[in-house]
Structure 1
Amino acid sequence: MKPELTLHGQTLQLNRYPIRQHETLQAWDAADEYLINQVEDMKQQQALTLDAERPVLIMNDSFGALACWFARQGQTVSVGDSYIARTASQHNLAANALPDIAFADCLAPVPPQTQLVLLKLPKNNRLLVWQLTQLCAALPEDCVVIAAAKARDIHTSTLKLFEKHLGPTRTSLAVKKARLIFCQPDKNLAAALPEAQRWAVPEYKLTLTNHANVFSGESLDIGARLLLEHIPQDPVLKHIIDLGCGNGVIGLQAARLNPQAKVTCVDESYMAVASCRENADLNLTNPAQLEAKVDNCLESMANSDADLVLCNPPFHQQNTITDHIAWQMFCDAKQSLKQHGRLIVIGNRHLGYDGKLKRLFAKVQKIAQNPKFVVYQAEK
């Protein structure tokens, strides 16, 4: 597939990240195109004039299409929760010889005097409410807010969230199965940001804090519950990695079972890593035992010294169902493990992870299962 987006006489070379040979998926979608066309049409009709001294705020940019388009149009700030999306944006900016822009995670404050907000709807309504509440409290009344998504993902309930948390809302017609949402900020709706979810896992004596975009942020998911039962307690373990850590529950239990071990929790979500750090401080006798960091799988930790990697892989990237993330996790785990180190991974039975693991590891065995999930152990 040609990675070229051409609109209004301008062509951008855009790639998803990580770059794969024979990529079949684009780094942009119809919602990106609709947003770009809408802004350019408004400028041409003099319905929108951008001030080079005021920020344009892009939220939840998938792979940098919007960042690249608006990079030359003044101060541009890209806000999102995905390390992979940020890295993709940075790579695409460099590939197109475009100016650097500012990046921030979702927990950072909204830039003052923002003049235009372009928001791609996140999958998680908890994150959407967080972002709308942030915007309502911070945006000047003359700010233009335009959101976009696939038409099938914009429901009456979505529009009600905009009305409740940001201001008067209307929608566009659908174009290429995408739709826009126009919203006028109303300061009378300004409210305090939602509290992070906090709930207990009494059987493990844990209390877990979960920021808005953390997977299974309102209860312990059934996959994690099964994996928790099969975390080894072994005095020879010196370095344990919780790969795709979410709120850190697996890493926390590994740390408590193995107080002699350093535990590294890794996720590509900034909110997940922030939650994990807070949970370590809340639950561990020695919080310094656990490090929480953002990364693309274990990209920055190749040839590490890990004795054990624990992993509950996702099977989607942004809104696309895919198995390449699990494959990268398994490959990176192998690179990060010592000889005879172990990977313990859980997955839905239908995903067939054992086949992938046997292509990489000398010894793979099933160590647990229930009607929905299987736990495998692979030894390097």
Structure 2
Amino acid sequence: MSVIFDALRRWPDVEAPDLVAVDAADRLILDESAELRAAALPGDIVVINDAYGALTLGAAHAGASGIRTHIDAITGERALESNASRVGLTGRFRPLPLDAGLVSGARIALLRLPRSLDALRDIVGLIAAHADPSVVVVAGGRLKHMSVSMNTVLSENFGQLDISHARQKSRVLIARAPRDGRDPTPAAAQVAGLEVRAYGGAFAGARVDIGTRLLLENLPAAPVGGTPSDPLVDLACGTGIIGAWMATRHPDAHVHACDQSAIAVASARATMVANRIEDRVTVVRDDMLGARPSSSASLITLNPPFHSAAAVTDLIAPRMFADVARVLRPGGQLWCVWNSGLRYRPLLERAIGPTEQVARNAKFTVTVSTRR
């Protein structure tokens, strides 16, 4: 197994010496599930919230086939495909969305615990609703990201919960006897004059974070673009608040919203439907702006993330700024909000062009950068 793990990479996600593709929690989940997996038939195993393929490929390397797997981040999904090719395990799994088809009839679920309790509630409710009644969920994580509340959430949908000993600062929860399952439904709220929808784990949930609020308060009253061939672009759209805001305030505008997270994309699509603007807003799951042609946008908005999975990193924003520079037309603008302590202005100047401060409060800065 170590040979497999040594070959795994995070690419195309950010890579650095302190950012790993497999950790002790992945190893513990596989060790605690080994006996169960030894008796599994093809199609019995589902893997949810795998980071870069360690759980899926670890199970495949041990002999499992017909594995169904879901990774929220498109970069993680692509890393799994790349890693599978690298270690010769392609064709042993199928990436699927987080819905009934993923877990239907499953007898073993390997779960990397999400940090959000709402996301965990959505996942275990789905498993309890559609997996085989004999299903066993082997859910693990790093102790620093786990809480007793996770036990409570699992117990809402499973009648038996066992807890492993800690090992290398990781632990596994083993759940049996599913009950009271349900399909995920998004939270709903009125936010900034919009109907917002958010599935568990979406950034900020069904509310507006203070950085996004500051950006909304300062976006241009008459933005350039908004045609089908030159849509207003919302990068890292989350629940879709910025894209929906632009579409509702500019009734003729077309908007392109994108995010790498499947949860975010599902939330944003639900937000657009709730506001009856889905005919003018395209929401896609994408690695940054990979689906957009070069020089195809006059205005892009961005509230850049600074987490890669559970890791805090400053490597994401520079990659996003570079892709924004590729997609902006000459003279096009990036309207960006960022935590003032991150001091992104020099990066924006170098990557895109002249950058002006538009607004600032105690924590966040809004800038507009014009493509050279």
| Pairwise same-fold verdict (TM > 0.5) | yes
CA-CA distance at 1:37 after TM superposition = 2.4
Q: Is 1:97 the counterpart of 2:85 in the alignment?
A: no
Q: Is 1:200 the counterpart of 2:187 in the alignment?
A: no
Equivalent residue, structure 2, for 1:371? 362
Q: Is 1:265 the counterpart of 2:257 in the alignment?
A: yes
* Alignment partners' CA distance in 1, 2:295 and 2:78: 22
Equivalent residue, structure 1, for 2:171? 179
Q: Is 1:76 the counterpart of 2:67 in the alignment?
A: yes
CA-CA distance at 1:20 after TM superposition = 5.5
Task: Tell me which amino acid in the other structure corresponds to 1:350.
Answer: G
Task: Tell me which amino acid in the other structure corresponds to 1:208.
Answer: V
Equivalent residue, structure 1, for 2:285? 294
CA-CA distance at 1:12 after TM superposition = 5.0
Equivalent residue, structure 1, for 2:241? 249
* Alignment partners' CA distance in 2, 1:190 and 1:332: 45
* Alignment partners' CA distance in 2, 1:317 and 1:108: 27
What are the Cα deviations for residues 217-244 of structure 1, in whole angstroms up to 9, with x where unaligned?
Answer: 1322111111111221326423211001
Identity %, equivalent residues:
27
* Alignment partners' CA distance in 1, 2:12 and 2:69: 19
Is 147-156 or 58-67 further displaced after alignment? Answer: 147-156
Indicate if the aligned counterparts of 1:133 and 1:166 stay in contact, CA closer than 8 A. Answer: no
Alignment counterpart, residue 169 of structure 1, candidates 140, 161, 173:
161
RMSD: 2.0
Q: Is 1:217 the counterpart of 2:208 in the alignment?
A: no
Indicate if the aligned counterparts of 1:303 and 1:337 stay in contact, CA closer than 8 A. Answer: yes
What are the Cα deviations for residues 22-65 of structure 1, in whole angstroms up to 9, with x where unaligned?
Answer: 6442211110111222333x2xxxx6533333321111000111
Alignment counterpart, residue 66 of structure 1, candidates 46, 55, 58:
55
Indicate if the aligned counterparts of 2:42 and 2:64 stay in contact, CA closer than 8 A. Answer: no
Q: Is 1:133 the counterpart of 2:133 in the alignment?
A: no
* Alignment partners' CA distance in 2, 1:235 and 1:112: 46
Q: Is 1:240 the counterpart of 2:240 in the alignment?
A: no
* Alignment partners' CA distance in 2, 1:163 and 1:132: 10
> In structure 2, the residue corresponding to 1:74 is in which secondary structure?
coil
Indicate if the aligned counterparts of 1:200 and 1:208 stay in contact, CA closer than 8 A. Answer: yes
CA-CA distance at 1:115 after TM superposition = 2.1
* Alignment partners' CA distance in 2, 1:82 and 1:19: 9
Equivalent residue, structure 1, for 2:10? 16
How many residue pairs were aligned? 364
Q: Is 1:329 the counterpart of 2:329 in the alignment?
A: no
Equivalent residue, structure 1, for 2:214? 226
CA-CA distance at 1:196 after TM superposition = 1.4
Q: TM-score, normalised by structure 2?
A: 0.91
What are the Cα deviations for residues 255-276 of structure 1, in whole angstroms up to 9, with x where unaligned?
Answer: 2333443210000111211222
Q: TM-score, normalised by structure 1?
A: 0.90
Equivalent residue, structure 2, for 1:311? 302
Is 62-71 or 137-146 further displaced after alignment? Answer: 137-146
CA-CA distance at 1:14 after TM superposition = 0.6
Q: Is 1:359 the counterpart of 2:350 in the alignment?
A: yes
Q: Which runs of 5+ in 1 are unaligned?
A: 1-5
CA-CA distance at 1:164 after TM superposition = 1.9
* Alignment partners' CA distance in 2, 1:34 and 1:195: 31
Q: Summarize the alignment of residues 1-80 of structure 1 with structure 2, pairs less than 5 Å apart.
A: 6-7=1-2, 13-18=7-12, 23-40=17-34, 42=35, 49-71=38-60, 72-80=63-71
Indicate if the aligned counterparts of 2:196 and 2:206 stay in contact, CA closer than 8 A. Answer: no
Q: Is 1:338 the counterpart of 2:332 in the alignment?
A: no
* Alignment partners' CA distance in 2, 1:169 and 1:163: 7
> In structure 1, the residue corresponding to 2:177 is in which secondary structure?
coil
Pick 1 or 2: higher relative contact order, CA cutoff 8 A, min separation 6: 2
CA-CA distance at 1:207 after TM superposition = 1.0
Indicate if the aligned counterparts of 1:345 and 1:376 stay in contact, CA closer than 8 A. Answer: yes
Change (3 A) 1:11 1:305: closer
Indicate if the aligned counterparts of 1:139 and 1:185 stay in contact, CA closer than 8 A. Answer: no
What are the Cα deviations for residues 162-205 of structure 1, in whole angstroms up to 9, with x where unaligned?
Answer: 1122231121111111111111123xx3243353111112xx43
Q: Which runs of 5+ in 2 are unaligned?
A: none
Task: Tell me which amino acid in the other structure corresponds to 1:27.
Answer: A
Equivalent residue, structure 2, for 1:146? 138
> In structure 2, the residue corresponding to 1:113 is in which secondary structure?
coil
Is 74-83 or 252-261 further displaced after alignment? Answer: 252-261
> In structure 2, the residue corresponding to 1:293 is in which secondary structure?
strand
CA-CA distance at 1:287 after TM superposition = 3.0
Task: Tell me which amino acid in the other structure corresponds to 2:203.
Answer: F
Indicate if the aligned counterparts of 1:235 and 1:260 stay in contact, CA closer than 8 A. Answer: no
CA-CA distance at 1:11 after TM superposition = 5.6
Q: Is 1:155 the counterpart of 2:147 in the alignment?
A: yes
Equivalent residue, structure 2, for 1:283? 275
* Alignment partners' CA distance in 2, 1:11 and 1:378: 42
